[in-house]
Structure 1
Amino acid sequence: MIPNELLLAAAVVVLYGAVLLWFRLFGETGLFAFTVFATIAANIEVLILVDAFGMEMTLGNILFATTFLVTDILSETHGKKSAQKAVHLGILTSALFILVSQSWLLYTPAASDWVSPAMRGVFANTPRMMLASLAVYAAAQVFDVWLYHKWWALTAAKSGDSRKFLWLRNNGSTLISQLLNAVLFTLFAFYGAYGFRTLLSIALSSYVIFIATSLLDTPAVYLARRIHERKTRKA
């Protein structure tokens, strides 16, 4: 079997690469579409617990991290309103997915149906986690966009150059937002289901992953800015 650590590393490369590819091919619209994909997929993937790097963690962390990468790229290349639009798309996508996925459980399956028991096993116990994911996603993403532009205004005022210190506004906003994300999601989704030590392990492991993904996404934001500038010059 492939080690979980290797699979997680591969997921970072593939998903960050996909964000850049969609941005290069489709621009702003591509990132809006990626937000919808990542939001739906992460809401399912977050239900899975795995052991990796000596910790127990939920999957979905890397997919959620790509949504922060998307908003940082949009903030940098298209401005605050574009990033906020991506956040609103993610929130509405999560809300609609929760409603639709729960409606599946209301149908009476046919006698020949074989998939309903598996679907019920997954989605019958997920409303709390999905609602927690929605609430935390909304809070963390709104805060991230706000903080990104606060850092940008500060660094631009200090340096006199709005292009400088991209690494600072990228990491300064994402690392703080992801801490908020990890703590709130763990409490909302798992409080009462696990003991304190497990909750602490999930929160810490999630944040460790978020630290790594946040630091790794900085080159991607620089590259996205370069892609955008090249397209702008050609236009």
Structure 2
Amino acid sequence: MPATYAHKKQQLYLVLSGIFLVNALLAEIIGVKIFSVEKTFGLTGNLTAGVLVWPVVFLSTDIINEYFGHKGVLRVTFLTAGLILYSFLVILGTTHLVPADFWLDLNKTDTLGRPFNIEFAYQSIFRQGMGIIIGSLVAFLIGQALDASVFQLFRRITGSRFIWLRATGSTLISQLVDSFVVLYVAFYIFGNWTLAQVQSVGWFNYWYKFAAAVLLTPLLYLAHYLIDRYLGPQETVELQEEAFVDKSV
């Protein structure tokens, strides 16, 4: 049984880390786009496209924290930050490649018949992300460290009860910081936004994350149920106790 338990434990951490990493990377890449919530969903406000998948990141963060502790969260956080940085360095490198002549001839006009420069579009989209990646990485590291610490604090207070409180509470506190840091660094320091724009989009981002954290609570309990069945009752308790005292994964 110990060998089986160890294997299941490793597999669980691998799956949760994969979900965390993929969605964090996606959020960073698509975060260059600011979309109109009103024109898309009929609600007032603007959001970065990255926040659409970000709730999956903080949901997986809370689950990793519950079963693998503060160190488990920070381990995958630092790995993800490194891979995000690597990805954007590669993307930045591709913007300096000389385009092929036949590629420049593609899509000479858009759907409305207007002249379209595919190289300019590529440069505009991906080089815009350089300021965002700096802001995102700073906010990401601060937010994750804060989330992991607050989660463990609530865990000490509530014990094994009130999963929703430590998960939602830690997310709401950490994302209050994250929502404004990323926009301030990416669009105010490296961009041309005003503080009023940062505050407007930042608060809308935060309230979206607030609502998402509450709405995802049933999924959190479902994930706990499935994981508990996968590991077994005794093994689940042991793993959560290890996480609480912050032992290594």
Contact in 2 for aligned 1:98/1:127 (Cα 8 Å): yes
Structure 2 counterpart of 1:51, from 20, 36, 47: 36
Task: Verify the 8 A CA contact 2:168 2:213 in the aligned structure 1.
Answer: yes
Q: Is the 8 A contact 1:77 1:225 kept in 2?
A: no
SS, match of residue 101 in structure 2? coil
Describe how 1:196-235 pairs up with structure 2 within 5 A. 196-233=195-232
Partners of 2:23 and 2:56 within 8 A in 1: yes
Is residue 186 of structure 2 the alignment partner of residue 189 of structure 1? yes
- Name the SS of the counterpart of 1:50 in structure 2: strand
User: Separation in 2 of the partners of 1:197 and 1:110?
Assistant: 42
- Hey, what's the Cα distance between the residues in 2 that align with 1:188 and 1:37? 23
Unaligned runs of 5+ in 2: 1-10, 38-42, 105-117, 236-249
2:86 to 67, 90, 96: 96
Mapped partners of 2:44, 2:151: distance in 1: 32
Whole-angstrom distance in 2 between the partners of 1:209 and 1:110: 42
Query: Is the Cα contact below 8 Å between 1:76 and 1:225 reproduced in 2?
Result: no
Q: Which residue of 2 aligns with 1:73?
A: 63
Paired residues for 1:162-173 under 5 Å: 162=160, 164-173=161-170
Q: Deviations over 1:69-89 (max 9, x none)?
A: 111011113333322222122
Q: Give the gaps of 5 or more residues in structure 1.
A: 1-25, 157-161
Counterpart position of 1:39: 24
**Would the aligned equivalents of 1:46 and 1:59 in 2 still touch at CA under 8 Å?**
yes
CA shift for structure 1 position 116: 4.0
- In our comparison, the structure showing a higher alpha carbon Rg is 2
Map of 2:149 onto structure 1: 146
Q: Aligned-pair distance for 1:187? A: 1.0
Preserved CA contact (<8 Å) 2:180 2:198: no
How many positions carry a matched residue from both structures? Answer: 204
Q: What is the match of residue 77 of structure 2?
A: 87
Question: Do 1:105 and 1:120's aligned partners in 2 also have CA atoms closer than 8 Å?
Answer: yes
Contact 1:32 1:89 in 2 (8 A): no
Deviates further, 122-131 or 166-175: 122-131
What root-mean-square deviation, in Å, do the aligned CA atoms of Structure 1 and Structure 2 show? 1.8
What TM-score do the two structures reach when normalised by structure 2? 0.76
Deviation string 1:148-190 (CA, Å, 9 cap, x unpaired) is 011101112xxxxx2x111110111000001011111121112
CA distance in 1 between counterparts of 2:70 and 2:125 reads 36
In structure 1, what residue type is equivalent to 2:154? Answer: W
1:130 aligns with 2:133: yes
Rounded Cα–Cα distance in structure 1 between residues aligned with 2:119 and 2:19: 28
Distance 2:87 2:29 in 1: 10
Distance in 1 between residues matched to 2:154 and 2:33, nearest whole Å: 35
> Sequence identity, in percent?
25
Task: Give the SS at the match of 1:126.
Answer: helix
| CA-to-aligned-CA distance 1:128-152 (integer Å, 9 cap, x gap) | 1111111111110111011101110
AA aligned opposite 2:23? A
Per-residue CA distance 1:74-133 (angstroms, 9 max, x = gap): 111333332222212221121111211111112112222246443212112221111111
Q: CA deviation at 1:212?
A: 0.8
Contact 1:132/1:185 (<8 A) preserved: yes
Q: Distance in 2 between matches of 1:104 and 1:38?
A: 23
Runs of 4+ in 1 over 4 A off after TM superposition: none
1:18 corresponds in structure 2 to: none
Say which SS state the counterpart of residue 47 (structure 2) adopts. Answer: strand
